[in-house]
Amino acid sequence: MDKQTQVIHAAFQHPDAYHSLSMPVYHTAAYEFDNATEMEDAFCGRTEMPDYSRVSNPTVTYFEQKVKLLTGADNVIAFGSGMAAISNTLLAVAASGKNIVSSRHMFGNTYALISGTLARFGVEAKLCDLTDIDAVESNIDANTCCIYLEIITNPQQEVADLRALARVAHSHQIPLIADTTMIPFTQFSAKELGVDIEIVSSTKYLSGGATSIGGLVMDYGGLPGFGKRMKTEMLLNLGAYMTPHVAYMQSLGLDNLHARYLLQSANTQRLAEMLCTLPGIAKVTYIGLKDNPYHALAQSQFGATGGAMITIDLESRDACFRFINQLKLIRRATNLFDNKTLAIHPASTIFGNFTDEQRREMDVLDTTIRLSVGLEAVEDLFEDIKQAITPI
Ligand SMILES: *Cc1c(COP(=O)(O)O)cnc(C)c1O
């Protein structure tokens, strides 16, 4: 049976007392036991019975099981945010004296986590060009604990070769960890490309229209003991598990993720092609465009769709501000993959607290506008962009 069908009809672990058709939201902190032995078995992990919602909750478990079905992961762990998923993963993998090989092209908070927060605990960030396999190889040493990357960097939209990175990682017996937020796991299999640990900010495509903040970690078994450490040590000691209400909303989002993604991605492809014809735009960057340098690699890894993020470059920072101010339909907001189309000037917002030099190193340009394309009619989006670009 098709995975999509299976996910939509996924059964609960235990039947609901009232035969509820959708998974109830178990808003409870704790669970009661009939006797001391049952209690001991649950607390010592010998049964699946939940004991406390910091580590286990039926509604969250149901959501995790559905993601497991779609991804084929050995373990799926849901967190309170994408950043919680990333920080808990890196805290499980790294240790004082170890280093992480990664890139300067990274989500701003992940960059700050790796190069700032983790650095305070003695974990070194070795940042290099992940599209240059020789550079990656030469940065790995005996203390490297993982290669960490984003599959399409934001806003540069750089795509690294996952199969090649997996080969390098595995030849050094270290895991390849990938943040795959940019293309949903309904569209491609990170596991088949050699990724050992996949991380998703479920706030984005998955939540079903910016309903809630969440994160997911998929463990494909490439690092022995990782899944167990996440479920016992990290969830217990750091306390960043997803809440049941969020799991309920994101479970609904998961059911229609595939349909929404295909439409958003098709919209983006058409919009990108239309924007290439518009005077006043210096450059349109989208991996779905045939002349994009990463087009062929992206297609070989993620299939025919290019996702719903696009950037346009205008002549100056002032032109970008004028454009943002002139928008009538497209919303001025951060976030990605909402049902509504969103626009933001990354250099002055998401990367606003970095220095000019850091922004230069990260290739975050003053002339770039990022668009996250939603489910509206493409013609309406094009009209709005056209009128916003026309000089006043
Ligand atoms: C948004 C985002 C994150 C952080 O996720 P939150 O859910 O906002 O904590 C991490 N990585 C990428 C690529 C993102 O787009």
pLDDT in tens, 88-103: 999 999 999 999 999 9
Nearest to 373 by CA among 288, 256, 304, 292: 288
Q: Count CB-CB contacts under 10 A for residue 277.
A: 9
Six-digit token string for 97: 């004296």
19 CA → ligand 1 middle, Å: 36
Cis peptide before 155 (omega within 30 of 0): yes
Residue 178, beta-bridge partner list = 149, 198
Quick one: DSSP state of residue 39?
H
Which atom of ligand 1 approaches the CA of 204 most closely?
1
CA dihedral 235, 236, 240, 241 (to 10 degrees): 60
pLDDT tens per residue, range 18-33: 999 999 999 999 999 9
The reported pLDDT for the residue numbered 391 is: 63
How far apart are the C-alpha atoms of 332 and 337, rounded to whole Å? Answer: 14
Instruction: Return the residue whose CA atom lies nearest to atom 6 of ligand 1.
Output: 82
Question: In this predicted structure, which of 41-45, 86-90, 191-195 has the lowest mean pLDDT?
Answer: 41-45
Rounded percentage of the chain residues whose pLDDT exceeds 70? 99
The domain locations on the chain are 3-255, 257-389
Strands ordered across the beta sheet of 331-332: 283-285, 309-313, 368-372, 342-344, 331-332
The reported pLDDT for the residue numbered 59 is: 97
121 CA → ligand 1 middle, Å: 22
Question: Would you say residue 392 has pLDDT above 90?
Answer: no
pLDDT tens per residue, range 238-261: 999 999 999 999 999 999 999 999
Query: By three-state DSSP, how is residue 65 classified?
Result: helix
Instruction: Estimate to the nearest angstrom the gap between the alpha carbon of 148 and the chain centroid.
Output: 13
Ligand 1 probe mutation, 203, 344, 362, most atoms within 8 A of CB: 203
| pTM for this entry | 0.96
Question: Would you say residue 9 has pLDDT above 60?
Answer: yes
CATH topology of domain 257-389: Aspartate Aminotransferase, domain 1 (3.90.1150)
The reported pLDDT for the residue numbered 14 is: 84
Instruction: Return the residue whose CA atom lies nearest to atom 15 of ligand 1.
Output: 181
How far apart are the C-alpha atoms of 363 and 347, rounded to whole Å? Answer: 10
215 CA → ligand 1 middle, Å: 8
CB-based contact 54:81 (threshold 8 Å): no
Instruction: Return the residue whose CA atom lies nearest to atom 5 of ligand 1.
Output: 82
pLDDT tens per residue, range 167-187: 999 999 999 999 999 999 999
Six-digit token string for 55: 């580590």
How far apart are the C-alpha atoms of 231 and 55, rounded to whole Å? Answer: 7
What amino acid is encoded at 254 in this protein?
L
Which atom of ligand 1 approaches the CA of 213 most closely?
7
pLDDT tens per residue, range 292-332: 999 999 999 999 999 999 999 999 999 999 999 999 999 99
83 CA → ligand 1 middle, Å: 6
How far apart are the C-alpha atoms of 154 and 370, rounded to whole Å? Answer: 9
CB-based contact 301:193 (threshold 8 Å): yes
CB-based contact 41:173 (threshold 8 Å): no
Average pLDDT over every residue of 204-232: 96
Q: Count CB-CB contacts under 10 A for residue 154.
A: 22
How far apart are the C-alpha atoms of 187 and 305, rounded to whole Å? Answer: 8
Average pLDDT over every residue of 58-79: 98
CB-based contact 183:56 (threshold 8 Å): no
Residue 381 has phi, psi (to 5 degrees) of -70, -45
Instruction: Estimate to the nearest angstrom the gap between the alpha carbon of 86 and the chain centroid.
Output: 9
Q: What is the H or E stretch that residue 269 is in?
A: helix 257-275
Instruction: Return the residue whose CA atom lies nearest to atom 2 of ligand 1.
Output: 201
Angle between helices 317-326 and 378-389 (to 10 degrees): 130
Six-digit token string for 259: 């349909």
CB-based contact 343:155 (threshold 8 Å): no
- How is domain 3-255 classified at the architecture level of CATH? 3-Layer(aba) Sandwich (3.40)
The reported pLDDT for the residue numbered 13 is: 84
How far apart are the C-alpha atoms of 103 and 79, rounded to whole Å? Answer: 24
Six-digit token string for 91: 């805290």
Ligand 1 probe mutation, 79, 81, 83, 337, most atoms within 8 A of CB: 83
Q: What is the H or E stretch that residue 75 is in?
A: strand 75-79
Residue 162 has phi, psi (to 5 degrees) of -65, -40
- Same fold? 3-255, 257-389: no
Q: Identify the residue whose tokens are 């070989």.
A: 300
109 CA → ligand 1 middle, Å: 8
**Ligand 1 proximal residues by C-beta, below 6 Å:** 81-83, 107, 110, 150, 154, 179, 181, 201, 203-204, 213, 215, 336
The reported pLDDT for the residue numbered 390 is: 72
